[in-house]
Structure 1
């Protein structure tokens, strides 16, 4: 079985060791400890996969709680259809949030454009 150091994982996934330790504190990773006083973390292929899934979830904008729930589902030999339904639910909720944010941004941009147009009109009237 392959094992990894925190430095190797940090380099591979372009994250800081501090971020990896944070994910460990959140229960997303659980490396074994070796060396004097258990100072050295040893990550397994399982930890590497969980880190990869965690980072993918972060790129999708999911919360750490959502990521942990989804990643933990894959650890159990339960029905994969139930896991996929849960994942679809989380993705659907996130999509709704992003679509609302996009709508809010578009409204704000339209208001900014209206103010810019009005300022341009007023400036043109002053110079005419």
Structure 2
């Protein structure tokens, strides 16, 4: 079992709470090996955890990530990659729209701040 991580080791490595790790197992994102109540995570689960956390960082929902991970088992790498390109394109559009909105908000705030500061000078 040298290449397996225990539950606490998995939490520590990925800086997640035990609740998060149990939830990911509950919604079938992860399937650790079990010995009694103990859970052990092998290379497959470690790789999946990296993908899950990266997907979350990019703004994908857990169900979307779960469906994407299922594609590999059901249809293979090519279909999974094709789905990834579609997902990434959609998320890039959403993030770019958010970025534009943040830029507009910053410009509005800066203008109001500058107008207010100028009125204090008078």
Alignment TM class, shorter chain as reference: 0.7 to 0.9
Find the counterpart in structure 2 of residue 71 from structure 1.
69
RMSD: 1.7
Pair 1:117 & 2:105 matched: no
Consecutive unaligned residues of structure 1, counting only runs of 5 or more, are: none
Deviates more, 1:89-98 or 1:56-65: 56-65
Instruction: Using the TM superposition, give the Cα deviation of residue 54 of structure 1 relative to its aligned residue in structure 2, in angstroms.
Output: 0.8
Instruction: Report the Cα distance in structure 1 between the residues aligned to 2:106 and 2:32, rounded to whole angstroms.
Output: 47
Find the counterpart in structure 2 of residue 82 from structure 1.
79
What SS class does the counterpart of residue 73 from structure 2 fall into?
A: coil
Larger radius of gyration: 1
Pair 1:13 & 2:14 matched: yes
Aligned residues: 121
Q: Scaled by the length of structure 1, what TM-score is found?
A: 0.83
2:71–2:79 CA contact under 8 A, matched in 1 = no
Instruction: Using the TM superposition, give the Cα deviation of residue 23 of structure 1 relative to its aligned residue in structure 2, in angstroms.
Output: 0.8
Instruction: Report the Cα distance in structure 1 between the residues aligned to 2:19 and 2:76, rounded to whole angstroms.
Output: 35
Residue 24 to residue 79, structure 1, CA distance change in 2 (3 Å)? closer
What SS class does the counterpart of residue 23 from structure 1 fall into?
A: helix
Q: Scaled by the length of structure 2, what TM-score is found?
A: 0.86
